[in-house]
């Protein structure tokens, strides 16, 4: 598609209508509620979006399943827990090293992430039950590898035939004594997206692991980083910055994580939430049970990184930390600014669309803004309404049949370990100064009026949007990549970053600037038509004249 054909002046309502036109009436009615023309900046009551509802059968969705969210996303990046998929071979195979989670095992050398463990269920296991095979598989894994922890993941048929994976795991845990074994009922059909799997994973980690290690952790400013998965090394860059600032990261949930990190999470004095969708409830539970307050942070984008660091420093309120953070920002920013200045002439005024995950579609808009790029349309693959509209809508959210399938765990203040990190007066003083705890304003708030916010975008709508609005770059996942590129528009994967990264923190911002500059400036997009296709009529001039 030649860039000269750019269609402008399409009203958002026209685009919405165009997207819905082809659907059967019932589908169109449902999709209409999931496509929002953003007016959040002016209207008294922000418009409502339909989210976290079932995918329509037959509509080519970007979503994955509960198992993918549980085993792939949350537990995938933990390196010293041995993850066994209980089911036919496929699920284990597809979640084997495909998310580009990086890890550094140099401290103790333990790393099971390059391995794929499965019970490889056969038809006789489906007919007679797979519990015996699961128990034997756990035993074999223990005998060969002697891990600290073994996790078991249920696939679709396991739920159907009713294998009690929890009972098997309990039995094996008791038998071993020195290996924690627990299981996840994360069958793919549960819930409506990956989000259900995140929830199941987090609940089990919270129940079976967090708080286990009572040994105190050293560090003056101790935090946990929640909802960061170390794709392409993001977590490494964030940890580098923390270290430089003198902040101790007790545990990352779950990028480059270890058994002991999870087990020690209760020792932190502040929880910093990156991906709101995948983990906000864990932050709530950590607060209720241990008294650790939480804040929303964002380390995507240099300004967001600086802002988040300042917020952490403000929370601890220690001048030494405040000064250190300012010094680090001052030291890091010149290189970032230099890189930004280099790409700005190529990127300024260009446009982007982002349809990823349950926070990335929001966070990355900061980076694009730093490059002077405007987000024309965005949406989440598996978010809930609060990720769009902000946490204030949470009380309004009514559980439906699908969300009732996902266990909600009740948490109370721990008799021994609950410890409010600040006095009521200290909290009050911070809040009066404008400090926001447990706050997330949602994506809509940041996006321009008239932009299109679309939940659970599908392939048909993605292609249509690109055709109509011709963004300079489109961000989504691997499944979407090549149909967008066939349209002559560069596509950047923001789930796995293609082969790039890190994009978090200061160094990450520089990487991202360069990467986006490469994509939007690449010559390849001008090669779509051969010269004889551009002007097919024969003319009377010859080259040698």
Partner 1 sequence: MALLKHTPVEIKERKALTVNPAKTCQPIGAMYASLGIHGCLPHSHGSQGCCAYHRSALTRHYKEPISAATSSFTEGASVFGGHANLIQAIDNIFTVYDPEVIAVHTTCLSETIGDDLNQIFDKARKSGKVPEGKTCLGAPTPSYVGSHVTGFSNMVKAMAQLAEPSGKKTHKVNVIPGWVEPSDMGEIKRLCAMVGVDITLFPDTDGVLNAPLTGEYKMFPDGGVTIKELKKTGDALGTLALGEWCSADAARWLDAKCKVPCTVLDMPFGLAATDRFIDVLRTVAGVSVPDSVAFERGQLVDMISDMHQYFYGKRVAIWGDPDQLISMCEFLVSLDMQPVYVVTGTPGKKFEARIKEICADQPFEVKVKAKGDMFLMHQWIKNEPVDLLIGNTYGKYISRDEDIPLLRWGFPILDRQGHQYFPTVGYKGGLRLLEKILGLLLDRKDRDDPETTFELVL
Please, which of residues 276-335 interact with partner 1 by CB under 8 A? none
Q: Is 397 in the site for partner 1 (CB under 8 A)?
A: no
Q: Which of 31, 40, 63, 68 is catalytic?
A: 68
Residue from 63, 99, 277, 495 carrying the catalytic annotation: 99
Of 284, 487, 518, 521, the one binding partner 1 by CB under 8 A:
487
Per-residue x/- mask for partner 1, residues 433 to 472, rule CB under 8 A? --------------------------xx--x---------
The question of whether 276 is a catalytic residue gets the answer: no
Residues 186-225 that bind partner 1 (CB under 8 A): 187-192
Q: What residues between 19 and 48 interact with partner 1 by CB under 8 A?
A: 22-24, 27
**Residue 3 or 220 with smaller CB distance to partner 1:** 3
Distance CA 390, CA 396 (A): 12
Stretch binding partner 1 (CB under 8 A), from 10-18, 85-93, 205-213, 442-450:
85-93
Which residues neighbour 307 within 8 Å (Cβ) at sequence distance 6 or greater? 298
**Which residue number, 26 or 398, has a Cβ lying nearer to partner 1?**
26
- One-character DSSP codes across 180-214: EEEEE---TTSSSSHHHHHHHHHHHHHHHTTT---
Q: Decide: helix, strand or coil at residue 151.
A: strand
Please name the residues in contact with 143: beta carbons below 8 A apart, sequence gap of 6 or more. none
Among 6, 7, 58, 434, binds partner 1 (CB under 8 A): 58
- DSSP-assigned letters across all residues of 379-419: E-SS--HHHHH-GGGGGGPPP-HHHHTSPPPP----TTT--
Which residue stretch of 175-183, 218-226, 325-333, 485-493 sits at the interface with partner 1 (rule: CB under 8 A)? 485-493
Cα–Cα nearest to 316, from 422, 420, 397, 414: 422
Nearer residue to partner 1 within complex by CB, 58 or 216: 58
- Token pair for residue 9? 């002046």
CB of 488 to partner 1, least distance (A): 4
Q: What is the DSSP string of 9-47?
A: ---HHHHHHHHHTTS-HHHHHHHHHHEEE--TTT-SSPP
Query: Is 99 a known active-site residue?
Result: yes
Does 486 sit near partner 1 (CB under 8 A)?
A: yes
Nearer to partner 1, 123 or 537 (CB): 123
**Is 65 marked active-site?**
yes
Which window, 204-212, 224-232, 311-319, 480-488, contacts partner 1 (CB under 8 A)? 480-488
Site residues for partner 1, 130-189, by CB under 8 A, read 133-137, 139-141, 143-145, 155-157, 159-161, 187-189
Of 272 and 454, the one with the shorter C-beta distance to partner 1 is 454
SS3 category, 486: helix
Contact window for partner 1 (CB under 8 A) among 57-65, 169-177, 237-245, 444-452:
57-65
With 0-12 CB in 10 A as exposed, 13-18 as middle and 19+ as buried, what is 515? middle
The minimum distance between CB 186 and partner 1, in angstroms, equals 10
Collapsing DSSP to helix, strand or coil, 82 comes out as: strand
Nearest by Cα to 407 from 419, 399, 416, 415:
399
- The greatest distance separating any two alpha carbons of the chain, rounded to the nearest whole angstrom, comes to 93
Annotated active-site residue 179? The verdict is no
Cα 420 to Cα 253, 286, 327, 428, 488, distances in angstroms:
22, 11, 30, 13, 55
- Interaction between residue 84 and partner 1 (CB under 8 A): yes
- By DSSP bridging, strand 81-86 and strand 117-118 are parallel
Query: Which of 143/215 has CB closer to partner 1?
Result: 143
Burial category of 510 from C-beta neighbours within 10 Å (exposed 0-12, middle 13-18, buried 19 and up): buried
Interacting residues with partner 1 between 60 and 79 (CB under 8 A):
60-68
Residue among 37, 105, 430, 468 that touches partner 1 (CB under 8 A): 105
Q: Considering beta carbons, is residue 22 or 33 the nearer one to partner 1?
A: 22
* Span of 110-118, 259-267, 282-290, 386-394 interacting with partner 1 by CB under 8 A: 110-118
How many residues bind partner 1, per CB under 8 A?
A: 95
Among 106, 107, 535, 539, binds partner 1 (CB under 8 A): 106
Is the CB of residue 443 less than 8 Å from the CB of residue 387?
yes
- HEC readout, 206-252: HHHCCCCCCCCCCCCEEEEEEEECCECCHHHHHHHHHHHHCEEEEEE
Candidates 4, 42, 45, 123; binder of partner 1 (CB under 8 A) is: 123
Catalytic entry in 63, 79, 86, 198: 198
Give the residue numbers annotated as catalytic, written as ranges: 65, 68, 99, 198
């Amino acid at each position: 598609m030649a860039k000269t054909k750019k269609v402008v002046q399409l009203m958002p309502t026209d685009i919405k209508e165009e997207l819905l036109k082809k659907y059967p009436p019932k589908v169109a009615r449902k999709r209409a509620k999931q496509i929002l023309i953003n007016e959040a900046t002016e209207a008294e009551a922000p418009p409502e979006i339909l989210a976290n509802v079932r995918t329509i059968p037959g509509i080519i969705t970007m979503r994955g399943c509960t198992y993918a969210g549980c085993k792939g996303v949350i537990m995938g990046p933990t390196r010293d827990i041995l993850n066994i998929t209980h089911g036919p071979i496929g699920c284990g195979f597809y979640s084997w090293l495909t998310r580009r989670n990086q890890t550094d095992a140099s401290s103790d050398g333990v790393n099971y992430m390059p391995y794929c463990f499965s019970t490889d269920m056969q038809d006789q296991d489906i007919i007679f039950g797979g519990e015996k095979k699961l128990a034997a598989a756990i035993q074999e894994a223990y005998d060969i590898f002697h891990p600290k922890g073994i996790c078991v993941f249920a696939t679709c048929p396991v739920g159907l035939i009713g294998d009690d994976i929890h009972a098997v795991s309990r039995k094996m845990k008791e038998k071993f004594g020195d290996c924690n074994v627990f299981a996840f009922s994360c069958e793919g059909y549960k819930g409506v997206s990956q989000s259900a799997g995140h929830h199941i994973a987090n609940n089990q980690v919270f129940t079976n692991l967090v708080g286990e290690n009572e040994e105190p952790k050293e560090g003056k400013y101790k935090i946990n980083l929640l909802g960061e998965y170390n794709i392409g090394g993001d977590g490494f860059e964030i940890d580098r910055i923390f270290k430089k600032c003198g902040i101790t990261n007790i545990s990352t949930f779950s990028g480059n994580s270890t058994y002991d990190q999870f087990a020690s999470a209760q020792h932190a004095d502040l929880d910093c939430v990156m991906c709101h969708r995948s983990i906000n409830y864990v932050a709530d539970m950590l607060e209720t049970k241990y008294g650790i307050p939480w804040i929303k942070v964002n380390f995507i984008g240099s300004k967001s990184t600086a802002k988040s660091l300042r917020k952490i420093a403000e929370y601890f309120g220690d001048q030494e930390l405040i000064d250190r953070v300012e010094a680090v920002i001052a030291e890091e920013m010149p290189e970032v600014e230099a890189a930004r200045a280099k790409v700005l002439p190529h990127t300024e005024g260009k446009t982007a669309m982002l349809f990823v995950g349950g926070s990335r579609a929001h966070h990355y808009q900061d980076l694009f803004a730093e490059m002077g790029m405007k987000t024309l349309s965005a949406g989440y693959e598996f978010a809930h309404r609060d990720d769009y509209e902000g946490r204030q809508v949470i009380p309004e959210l009514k559980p439906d049949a699908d969300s009732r399938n996902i266990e909600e765990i009740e948490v109370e203040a721990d008799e021994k370990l609950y410890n409010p990190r600040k006095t009521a007066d200290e909290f009050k003083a911070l809040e009066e100064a404008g400090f926001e705890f447990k706050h997330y304003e949602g994506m809509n708030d940041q996006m321009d009026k008239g932009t299109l916010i679309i939940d659970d975008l599908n392939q048909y709508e993605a292609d249509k949007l690109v055709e109509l609005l011709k963004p300079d770059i489109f961000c989504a996942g691997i499944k979407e990549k090549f149909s967008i590129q066939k349209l002559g528009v560069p596509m950047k994967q923001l789930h796995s970053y293609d082969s790039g990264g890190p994009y978090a923190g200061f160094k990450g911002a520089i990487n991202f600037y360069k990467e986006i500059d490469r994509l939007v400036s690449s010559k390849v997009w001008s090669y779509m038509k051969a010269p004889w296709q551009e002007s097919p009529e024969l003319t009377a001039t010859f080259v040698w004249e």
